[in-house]
Amino acid sequence: MTHFAYRDNILCADHVPLTDIARQYGTPLYVYSKTALTENYLAYADALKKYQHPETPGLVCFSVKSNSNLAVLKILGDLGSGFDIVSGGELSRVIAAGCDPRKAIFSGVGKTKEEIRFALENDILCFNIESPAELNRINEIAGEMGTTAPISFRVNPDVDAKTHPYISTGLKENKFGVAFDEAFDCYKTAAAMPNIRITGIDCHIGSQLLDDGPLLEAFDRLVILVDRLSEAGIELHHIDIGGGIGIAYHEEKPVAVPDYLARLYTRINAWRNKQYGGKPIQLMLEPGRSISGNAGVLLTEVQYLKTNTDKNYAIVDAAMNDLMRPALYDAWHTVLPVHKREMAAATYDIVGPICESGDWLAKQRDLAVTSGDLLAIMSAGAYGMVMASNYNTRGKAAEVIVDHEQVHLVRRRESAEDLFAFEKVLP
């Protein structure tokens, strides 16, 4: 179900017209639906409850890098979500939102000494280790602190996710994880370390996967390693299969989350019954985009309509600094007029005011619009605001969350003074 739909020719978030929201909070503006966030999270959590073993409840760890707004994290934390973090800053956000750091798993290839200490001080659930050098550092720091560090290795299964190369993470040429052929020795080394506690295994092959085939293939590769480790006396308590299913930006047809998890648990149960007499193992997932992506839109106002030779431009007040995905990935976002008008449509490139030719949000879109109209850039709830910058000294957009008929400001718009508050001129 979409929570952004037309009512009397006005696009609404739940039951609230986006025209009213823009009038109160201005543009550019990120608008999220609490109901959509909730339903998207529960698609995973409810499926896990259906298939999981009661002794080893599964855990959905929302990928904070997809949308790190404190209010978003709080909504998901209250539903029971864990969190996949990739920096100390993201852990700080989880804590500031009032969520449980003991349900956080820490991924990322470049964890600093300060970040590792901070994570250990807050008793995180697990480090997903991505190199032998990182293992040594974590063991050393845990020893200095008089504690043990819970770890898994992020194993690179060399499976092609068949997604954009910038968000493919499971091939052997990617920077992420330890090589599959080296992982067994890494676990043996870790098992001998005094300040390391092995808890599981992790992989993440990429983002925006529409077909679960590569995910299931990666799982099949992982269990080969888990069995070998078990034979060597190293028992794992969880298996983290990484990111979730992709979303529909345009005409994509992603596999349904419950169907994917049903197939995954069929594999898990067959494997555990054959090899371990039915002994269960905990499943973890790290979805981000499929929870937040279609739960948010970016509102922008048309400033000017312009024609150069045979091309039409709709120049809007949002720009590549607000939504980087089109310029970075050549990504498609559906664009809808907030007010459906009875007038002839024309074909426009939708561009922003930044002084870059790459500053565009959409190309060749048929729209019936005029100056002053509002446009909604759809599917902007993931990798939108989190990737925003202040290029051209532009303040970042405000963010609001719609909860049925209520609208809550969850991040105010930045002012120019905010942007240079930490700067000083020379004496």
Ligand-binding site membership of 93 (annotated): no
- Read off the tokens for 77: 């934390």
Cα–Cα distance, 106 to 90 (Å, whole number): 9
Ligand-binding site membership of 286 (annotated): yes
Q: Measure Cα distances from 346 to 311, 317, 336, 359, 368 in Å.
A: 10, 20, 13, 20, 6
DSSP 84-133: EESSHHHHHHHHHTT--GGGEEE--S---HHHHHHHHHTT-SEEEE-SHH
Cα–Cα distance, 229 to 144 (Å, whole number): 28
DSSP 128-193: EE-SHHHHHHHHHHHHHTT--EEEEEEEE------S-GGGB--STTSSSSEEHHHHHHHHHHHHT-
SS3 151: strand
Ligand-binding site membership of 329 (annotated): yes
Neighbours of 10 (CB within 10 A): 16
381 bridge partner residues = none
DSSP 53-75: -TTS--EEEEEGGG---HHHHHH
- At CA 240, angle to CA 239 and CA 242, rounded to 5? 155
Cα–Cα distance, 168 to 166 (Å, whole number): 6
Ligand-binding site membership of 356 (annotated): yes
Using an 8 Å Cβ cutoff, are 73 and 411 in contact? no
Ligand-binding site membership of 394 (annotated): no
Ligand-binding site membership of 289 (annotated): yes
152 bridge partner residues = 128, 200
Cα–Cα distance, 179 to 266 (Å, whole number): 27
Ligand-binding site membership of 287 (annotated): yes
Ligand-binding site membership of 244 (annotated): yes
- 425 membership: H or E segment, kind and range: none
Active site residue 355: yes
Which conformational region is residue 81 in: left (phi greater than 0), alpha (psi within -120 to 50 degrees), or beta?
beta
Q: Measure Cα distances from 413 to 256, 395, 423 in Å.
A: 36, 7, 19
Ligand-binding site membership of 170 (annotated): no
The residue among 329, 327, 320, 328 whose CA lies nearest residue 298 is 320
Task: Tell me the helices (H) and strands (E) count for the chain, helix number first.
Answer: 12, 21
Active-site residue, selected from the candidate residues 61, 126, 186, 355: 355
Using an 8 Å Cβ cutoff, are 298 and 388 in contact? no
Which residues are part of the catalytic machinery? 355
Binding-site sequence positions for substrate: 289, 325, 329, 356, 383
Binding-site sequence positions: 244, 286-289, 325, 329, 356, 383
Binding-site sequence positions for pyridoxal 5'-phosphate: 244, 286-289, 383
